[in-house]
Amino acid sequence: MDRENIVKSLGIKHIGIIMDGNGRWAKKRLLPRKMGHSQGAKAFRSCLNSCVELGVPCVTFYAFSTENWSRPKDEVDSLMKLFCSFMDEMMKLNSKNIRLRFIGSRDNQIGRAHV
C-alpha cells in the first residue's frame, strides 16, 4: 500500500500533536532553551509537511499553553519572536490548501503590536 492511501485506509480524519519537550531537548545537549524551541519549529514544519503528503485532513498542534506565560520573560519573549517570524511562513500555507486557525483562550495572547 502506498503512503498516500494509508491515511484513507485507516480512516484517519484528525491527528493531534502536543509540542512538548523542546526545553528538555536543549538542556540534554547543553544548549539554551530557545534553541530547543527553534528545533521544535523545525519539527513542526517537518510534521506538517508529512501530514500534507499523506493527505491527513486535519492536524491540531498544541504549542503554547496558559502555563507557558509563567515562564521567564526572556523565554516567553523568545517564543513570541519565533512565533511571529513563523507566521509569515504559515500565512503562505493556503497555496498548499491548508487552513490555519488559532484555537484556545485569547486572554494573554500575543501582544497586539506583534499581530
Active-site residue 49, yes or no?
A: no
Segments making up each domain of the chain, as ranges: 3-107
Catalytic pick from 5, 68, 94, 108? 68
Catalytic pick from 20, 74, 77, 94? 20
Q: What is the DSSP string of the chain?
A: --HHHHHHHHT---EEEE---HHHHHHHTT--HHHHHHHHHHHHHHHHHHHHHHT-S-EEEE---GGGGGS-HHHHHHHHHHHHHHHHHHHGGGGGT------S--TTPSPGGG-
Confidence band of 30 (pLDDT split at 50, 70, 90): very high
Model confidence, pTM: 0.73
Active-site residue 108, yes or no?
A: no
Instruction: Render pLDDT for 45-85 as a digit per residue (tens, 0 to 9).
Output: 899 888 888 888 888 888 888 888 888 898 889 888 888 88
pLDDT recorded at residue 113 = 38
Q: What is the CATH code of the structural domain delimited by 3-107? A: 3.40.1180.10
C-alpha cell recorded at residue 93:
500555507
